[in-house]
């Protein structure tokens, strides 16, 4: 198992292109402003945790990074979000294209009511330009399931319904099905909140294993999890980013009073 929290930041060149760059982002649900002038740079190849009290805008910010909010007709935004240098809200960019590069995992595992195999291939089939052969698809399924450490457990029952898996297995499958389109960024919104402590640990370990291969932005209410399983940490309050530093620094010597109040459980 990885030595969470003890690991040093991956040695990426200082000028490596950021995974996500948010500049001056404001977001309104109707008349209610949920995000205020958010500036944020998420580095490539590391795990960044996002913490803050309920309602501070963590999910809103995460959903903005793969254009899920726009399905609500009453959302307006100003500012820009770039993923690997590309403006994801530019006129020549589509939400489908964006989601190929930016996958998202939700609080409750949400496998489709299809077989394990068809779940893994779903995104790939949506995005592919030509039909792939059965053996190409088999390779994609095996690789994705190996990456999330599920292959040995499910290789003999790939045609069974994914919904029959345990919650831990379902959540790993929901991560696996993002991988065949080779995303750069994985967004995870409290991915362990529906899991018991043992399953939480297993999924956390998996997220840590994926570090380096993907840039991961994960929302959590669990301070221990943020501290154990992230390189950098972002603290949000009332729609604003209050502090963003290396995780150890945030927990040992937070710069802002609000951050230390939150970490020490004085509110939220």
Ligand X SMILES: Nc1ncnc2c1ncn2[C@@H]1O[C@H](COP(=O)(O)OP(=O)(O)OP(=O)(O)O)[C@@H](O)[C@H]1O
Q: Which two tokens stand for residue 145?
A: 């399931």
Indicate which single residue of 54, 130, 133, 135 sits in contact with ligand X (rule: CB under 6 A): 54
Nearest distance, CB of residue 53 and ligand X, angstroms: 7
Q: Is the Cβ of residue 120 or residue 195 nearer to ligand X in the bound state?
A: 195
Give the other-Cβ count within 10 Å of 152's Cβ.
Answer: 9
Indicate which single residue of 19, 20, 22, 34 sits in contact with ligand X (rule: CB under 6 A): 34
Q: Is 77 in the site for ligand X (CB under 6 A)?
A: no
Q: Is 59 in the site for ligand X (CB under 6 A)?
A: yes
Indicate which single residue of 40, 42, 51, 57 sits in contact with ligand X (rule: CB under 6 A): 57
Sequence-distant (≥ 6) Cβ neighbours of residue 128 within 8 angstroms:
none
Q: Is 29 in the site for ligand X (CB under 6 A)?
A: yes
List 232's β-bridge partners, or say none: 48, 246
Q: Is 58 in the site for ligand X (CB under 6 A)?
A: yes
Indicate which single residue of 44, 48, 60, 225 sits in contact with ligand X (rule: CB under 6 A): 60
Q: Is the Cβ of residue 13 or residue 73 nearer to ligand X in the bound state?
A: 73
Q: Is 66 in the site for ligand X (CB under 6 A)?
A: no
The torsion defined by the Cα of 205, 210, 216 and 222, in degrees rounded to 10, comes to: 0
Q: Is the Cβ of residue 146 or residue 221 nearer to ligand X in the bound state?
A: 221
Q: Is the Cβ of residue 158 or residue 250 nearer to ligand X in the bound state?
A: 250
The torsion defined by the Cα of 65, 204, 47 and 6, in degrees rounded to 10, comes to: 160
Nearest distance, CB of residue 220 and Mg ion, angstroms: 10
Nearest distance, CB of residue 69 and ligand X, angstroms: 8
Q: Is the Cβ of residue 8 or residue 54 nearer to Mg ion in the bound state?
A: 54
Q: Which does 123 bind (CB under 5 to 8 A by kind): ligand X, Mg ion, none?
A: none
Instruction: Select the residue whose beta carbon is closest to Mg ion and give its number.
Output: 59
Q: Is the Cβ of residue 58 or residue 227 nearer to ligand X in the bound state?
A: 58
- Which residues form the interface with ligand X (CB under 6 A)? 29, 32, 34, 52, 54-60, 72
């Amino acid at each position: 198992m990885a030595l969470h929290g003890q690991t040093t930041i991956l040695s990426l060149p200082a000028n490596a292109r950021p995974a996500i760059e948010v500049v001056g982002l404001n977001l309104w649900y109707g008349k209610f402003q949920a995000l205020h002038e958010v500036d944020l740079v998420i580095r490539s190849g590391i795990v960044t945790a996002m913490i803050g009290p309920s309602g501070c805008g963590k999910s809103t910010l995460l959903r903005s990074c793969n254009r899920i909010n726009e399905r609500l007709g009453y959302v307006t935004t100003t500012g820009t979000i770039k993923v690997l240098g590309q403006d994801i809200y530019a006129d020549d960019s589509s939400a489908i294209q964006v989601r190929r590069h930016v996958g998202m995992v939700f609080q409750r595992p949400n496998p489709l009511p299809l077989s394990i195999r068809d779940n893994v291939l779903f995104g790939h089939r949506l995005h592919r330009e030509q039909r792939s052969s059965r053996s190409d698809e088999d390779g994609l399924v095996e690789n994705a399931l190996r990456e999330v450490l599920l292959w040995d457990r499910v290789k003999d029952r790939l045609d069974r319904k994914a919904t029959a898996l345990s919650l831990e297995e379902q959540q790993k499958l929901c991560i696996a099905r993002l991988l065949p389109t080779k995303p750069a960024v994985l967004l995870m919104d409290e991915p362990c909140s529906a899991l018991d402590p043992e399953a939480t640990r297993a999924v956390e370990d998996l997220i840590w294993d994926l570090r380096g291969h993907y840039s991961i932005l994960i929302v959590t209410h669990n301070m221990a999890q943020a501290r154990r399983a992230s390189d950098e940490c972002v603290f949000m309050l009332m729609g604003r980013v209050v502090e963003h530093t290396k995780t150890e620094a945030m927990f040992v010597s937070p710069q802002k009073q609000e951050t230390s109040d939150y970490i020490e459980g004085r509110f939220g």
